[in-house]
Amino acid sequence: MWTIMHLADIHLDDRREAGEQERCLDAIVEELTRRRDAGSPVDLLAVCGDLVDPERGRRQREWERNTWRAFLRACADAGPKVAIIPGNHDRPADIAHFADIDGVHYFDRPTAWSLTNKHGHTLDVYALPYPETRYWLDGTGAGIEPHAQVSGADRITAIERRVRTQLAAWRKRGSADPAVLLYHGAVTGASVRLGQPLATSDEPKLSVEDLDGVADLVLLGHIHFGQELPSVSGPVVYAGSPWPHSFGEEGQANKGPLIWTVQPNGCVASERLALPYIKRVTFELHWRTNEAGRGRLVWMEGTDYHGPDSEPRGAARALVPGSRVRIRIVHPTAASSAIDWRGIEREFLVAGATAAKAVPIPVRNASVKVPELLDRRARTVWEELDAMWAATGTGPAGAERARFRNAVLHLDELALAA
Ligand SMILES: [Mn+2]
């Protein structure tokens, strides 16, 4: 029996909350150690690409290199062999040197490798890095360019064809030993989030059929939304990013490394290791205007936690503690200065958020956001707004007010023309 930990798309990033990623990496090492001490060690840690953050500076690269090296050394010390394939964001100069760590193997080109355990059993490992032009078409060596954009449909097709030929060669080896394939790249049929299929963008894509029959288990990296694709010969799986990298990944429960068990007869099972990352939650407040023309913020409609103000309440309040919070505030552009942005952020911090960021979502068309004006053309939007600001003692002053006036009058003209 073989135990494999499947990790991908870590994208280590030093701009995140201090210690969050270190805590997650520590939790991984602890799990490897716990299993070793319990007599059922993890045999292989498969790191399926995109180790680094795409938008990093020199200072970050230093931190990233040290953090990765310490992590990999600790993993290797805890038992498993470590196999790394580069993803499209990994530069060989940044990660190839990890191979000098005892027990760490780096595969910058398609490689058939194998692992033998103390019982003399063998596990075949096929390593297939991100299919990049320099290797597959130009033949100028191994490794990839960061952010490699393969352009031109014919070039993409040529790469796909060569990768398929490689997979077919591995399939024909027909080894009796269990096999696992590691790949970083796009596979058709995958979704980038729930209900959103992978775009037909400019990059080489494989199909599940291309991967079928090569191995008992196909461990993928590249798509951050963890998922298993329907296949015939064995699981074909994106581990997904181990923690959310953006608010776009908030609420995804499928985070954390997968731990696979491969039996001699090819039977596989998995469980997911939960990591102590900081959850992300988005709230939405909308600007509403009452009869008197006074504006205020209310909770997004359709949620069950309406409130008369911007304070999180009820079910929403329960989500706040320990979370990184984003508050989208949908409002007419002209109302921007009436909103207490910092005050709203403060309320969420007081309610226990680890971080809170109010994000303006200005709605430019004033007539849409002041619906009662549609029925009364007698006053322009500007006159209405002017009166409202006078009544509430809010609104911009001086040159800024003049700028608003011009902008709103322009909108009025557009509205009348329509
Ligand atoms: Mn990638």
Nearest to 242 by CA among 47, 19, 36, 18: 47
Distance 265 CA to ligand 1 centre (A): 32
Distance 389 CA to ligand 1 centre (A): 50
If 0-12 CB within 10 Å is exposed, 13-18 middle and 19+ buried, where does residue 180 land? Answer: buried
Terminal-to-terminal C-alpha distance of the chain: 71
- Reported as a single tens digit per residue, the pLDDT across 140-151 is 665 555 555 566
Distance 3 CA to ligand 1 centre (A): 25
- Reported as a single tens digit per residue, the pLDDT across 222-265 is 999 999 999 888 999 999 999 998 888 877 778 999 999 998 77
Distance 361 CA to ligand 1 centre (A): 30
Distance 214 CA to ligand 1 centre (A): 22
Collapsing DSSP to helix, strand or coil, 221 comes out as strand
Distance 244 CA to ligand 1 centre (A): 15
pLDDT at 205: 93
H/E stretch holding 217: strand 217-221
CA–CA separation, 183 vs 218, rounded Å?
A: 8
CB 357 within 8 A of CB 327: yes
CA–CA separation, 177 vs 209, rounded Å?
A: 21
Average pLDDT over residues 1-13: 95
Distance 223 CA to ligand 1 centre (A): 7
- Ligand 1 is an ion; residues with CB less than 5 A from it: 50, 87-88, 222
Q: Give DSSP secondary structure letters for 356-413.
A: EEEEEEEE--HHHHSGGGGG-TTS-HHHHHHHHHHHHT-S--HHHHHHHHHHHHHHHH
**What is the pLDDT confidence band of residue 35, given thresholds at 50, 70 and 90?**
very high
Distance 186 CA to ligand 1 centre (A): 8
Distance 237 CA to ligand 1 centre (A): 14
- Domains, the chain, ordered by start: 2-272 (3.60.21.10), 280-417 (no CATH)
Percentage of the chain surpassing pLDDT 70? 85
DSSP 8-state class, residue 49: S
Average pLDDT over residues 70-77: 98
Residue 372 has pLDDT above 50, yes or no: no
Distance 8 CA to ligand 1 centre (A): 9
CA–CA separation, 226 vs 176, rounded Å?
A: 29
Long-range contacts of 387-391 (CB under 8 A, 24+ apart): 387/293, 388/289, 388/293, 388/294, 388/295, 389/338, 391/292, 391/293, 391/294
Largest CA distance in the chain: 89
CA–CA separation, 123 vs 388, rounded Å?
A: 73
CA–CA separation, 114 vs 12, rounded Å?
A: 28
CA–CA separation, 218 vs 363, rounded Å?
A: 46
| Range of lowest pLDDT (18-22, 98-102, 167-171, 312-316) | 312-316
**What is the pLDDT confidence band of residue 376, given thresholds at 50, 70 and 90?**
very low
Distance 87 CA to ligand 1 centre (A): 5
pLDDT at 369: 41
More confident residue, 298 or 276: 276
Residue 365 has pLDDT above 70, yes or no: no
Average pLDDT over residues 70-91: 95
CB 298 within 8 A of CB 286: yes
CA–CA separation, 397 vs 337, rounded Å?
A: 10
CA–CA separation, 401 vs 399, rounded Å?
A: 5
CA–CA separation, 214 vs 175, rounded Å?
A: 10
Nearest 5°: phi and psi at 343? -65, -40
Average pLDDT over residues 196-205: 81
Residue 312 has pLDDT above 70, yes or no: no
| Range of lowest pLDDT (10-14, 42-46, 262-266, 414-418) | 414-418
pLDDT at 415: 56
Distance 266 CA to ligand 1 centre (A): 28
pLDDT at 411: 67
C-alpha distances out from residue 82 to 99, 152, 258, Å: 9, 35, 15
**What is the pLDDT confidence band of residue 174, given thresholds at 50, 70 and 90?**
confident
